[in-house]
């Protein structure tokens, strides 16, 4: 059996300061063993200036402030809630937390381990970190139903995060008009598909640039800012599978990085030259390649959030994603603050997520 993640991957990430690998992430990383598998654990002591993958404050305040610009102006009055909410989250020290199975990706996939074993590890983390929230990100009923039920029974609370989109390979997906058109576009493209095994040092620098153009410049600087060194490490250690779209001059114009675990594929690395004409359909080509590779390997695709209309037209099924949080061991003031936060997210954020497909 191939070890995943490899010892080299784990050791490299633990040995170097995290900004070497993800430049806007400040966290302490450790690895724990659960039923023979190694899972990442991140610990934060209140840092606010980090990507949302390790900062609930960034996810709920900084990222949300940018997402609110996408909803109709009639709803912009809700921006007024963010200032008092920001104060409350700081006072309840929400960013003092320990996150189990946090791969520091937009979508954390869960390995094939029992809910009982994961909960036992969560209890241990709670005992070791009595002043910290205990957090599990990226949970959904589609692939984590048993774990969600077990966490609820254990006493964890849940807050909504976003809507993610699932694709099941098969005849129904292949019959979609937009899916077929995208596959034809990819087949006729003058760009050449190259595997990550062929990437050079220069290609990884270019891959980082393309990712930054989409995820940081176009979307939000609170997305994880992966470095070229990190992308190369993931390729060299088998943590991710990469593909590129190379032009006739030999330069990458699009890049994909797949993270695959427990029969599910997600694409935390997607990037393309946003300065190229829209008619070239670079994003369409990349998603077509993602779905084609998943079908070839017999994998379910979790295509994360964003571009909701695009994904629905191609057969994506929306599913609400949740974070599970253990607050029972904390002082009454922090528990009360969390209950207020939970009420706001259920009463306001969750309906908006579904209404505007965020």
d(CA 335, CA 340): 9
pLDDT of residue 356: 75
Q: pLDDT tens-digit profile of 124-151? A: 999 999 999 999 999 999 999 999 999 9
Q: Could you tell me which residues come within 8 angstroms of residue 243 by beta carbon, excluding any fewer than 6 positions away?
A: 193, 194, 195, 196, 255, 256, 258, 289, 293
Phi and psi at 284, nearest 5°, equal -60, -40
Residue 1 has pLDDT above 80, yes or no: no
Q: pLDDT tens-digit profile of 8-27? A: 999 999 999 999 999 999 99
Residue 358 has pLDDT above 70, yes or no: no
* For the chain, percent of residues with pLDDT exceeding 70: 97
Q: Domains along the chain?
A: 7-164+320-356 (no CATH), 167-317 (3.40.630.30)
Q: What is the mean pLDDT of residues 99-112?
A: 98
The SS3 of residue 344 is: helix
Q: pLDDT tens-digit profile of 201-250? A: 999 999 999 999 999 999 999 999 999 999 999 999 999 999 999 999 99
Q: How confident is the model at residue 68 (pLDDT cuts 50, 70, 90)?
A: confident
Residue 77 has pLDDT above 80, yes or no: no
pLDDT of residue 70: 72
Residue whose structure tokens are 């063993």 = 33
pLDDT of residue 74: 59
CB-CB contact of 270 with 255 (8 Å): yes
Return mean pLDDT, the chain. Answer: 95
Q: What is the mean pLDDT of residues 301-313?
A: 95
Q: pLDDT tens-digit profile of 81-101? A: 888 999 999 999 999 999 999
Q: How many Cβ atoms sit within 10 Å of the Cβ of residue 88?
A: 16
Q: Could you tell me which residues come within 8 angstroms of residue 31 by beta carbon, excluding any fewer than 6 positions away?
A: 10, 14, 38, 39, 40, 41
Query: Does residue 174 or residue 256 have the better pLDDT?
Result: 256
pLDDT of residue 278: 95
Phi and psi at 51, nearest 5°, equal -60, 155
Q: pLDDT tens-digit profile of 245-282? A: 999 999 999 999 999 999 999 999 999 999 999 999 99
pLDDT of residue 201: 98
d(CA 138, CA 151): 13
d(CA 161, CA 107): 11
Q: Comparing 69-73, 90-94, 113-117, 334-338, which segment has the lowest mean pLDDT?
A: 69-73
pLDDT of residue 223: 97
């Amino acid at each position: 059996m191939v070890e995943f993640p490899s010892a080299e991957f784990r050791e490299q990430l633990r040995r170097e300061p995290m900004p070497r690998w993800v430049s806007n992430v400040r966290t302490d990383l450790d690895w724990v063993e659960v039923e023979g598998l190694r899972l990442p654990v991140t610990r934060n002591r209140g840092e606010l200036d980090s990507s949302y993958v390790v900062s609930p404050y960034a996810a709920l305040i900084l990222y949300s402030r940018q997402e609110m610009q996408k909803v109709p102006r009639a709803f912009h009055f809700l921006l007024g809630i963010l200032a008092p909410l920001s104060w409350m989250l700081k006072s309840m020290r929400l960013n003092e937390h320990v996150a189990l199975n946090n791969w520091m990706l937009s979508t954390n996939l869960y390995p094939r381990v029992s809910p009982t074993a994961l909960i036992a590890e969560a209890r241990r983390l709670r005992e070791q970190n009595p002043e910290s929230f205990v957090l599990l990100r990226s949970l959904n009923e589609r692939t984590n139903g048993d774990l969600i039920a077990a966490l609820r029974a254990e006493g964890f609370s849940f807050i909504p995060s976003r809507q993610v989109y699932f694709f099941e390979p098969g005849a129904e997906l292949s019959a979609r008009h937009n899916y077929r058109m995208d596959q034809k576009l990819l087949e006729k493209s003058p760009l050449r598909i190259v595997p990550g095994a062929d990437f050079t040092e220069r290609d990884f620098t270019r891959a980082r640039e393309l990712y930054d153009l989409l995820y940081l410049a176009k979307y939000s600087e609170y997305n994880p800012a992966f470095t070229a060194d990190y992308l190369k490490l993931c390729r060299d250690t088998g943590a991710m599978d990469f593909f590129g779209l190379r032009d006739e001059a030999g330069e990458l114009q699009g890049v994909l990085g797949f993270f695959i675990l427990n029969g599910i594929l997600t694409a935390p690395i997607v990037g393309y030259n946003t300065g190229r004409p829209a008619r070239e359909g670079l994003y369409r080509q990349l998603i077509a390649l993602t779905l084609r590779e998943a079908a070839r390997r017999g994998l379910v695709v979790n295509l994360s959030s964003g571009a909701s209309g695009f994904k629905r037209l191609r057969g994506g099924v929306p599913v609400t994603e949740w974070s599970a949080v253990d607050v029972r061991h904390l002082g009454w003031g922090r528990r009360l603050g969390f209950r207020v936060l939970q009420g706001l997210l259920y009463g306001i954020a969750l309906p908006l997520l579904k209404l505007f497909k965020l």
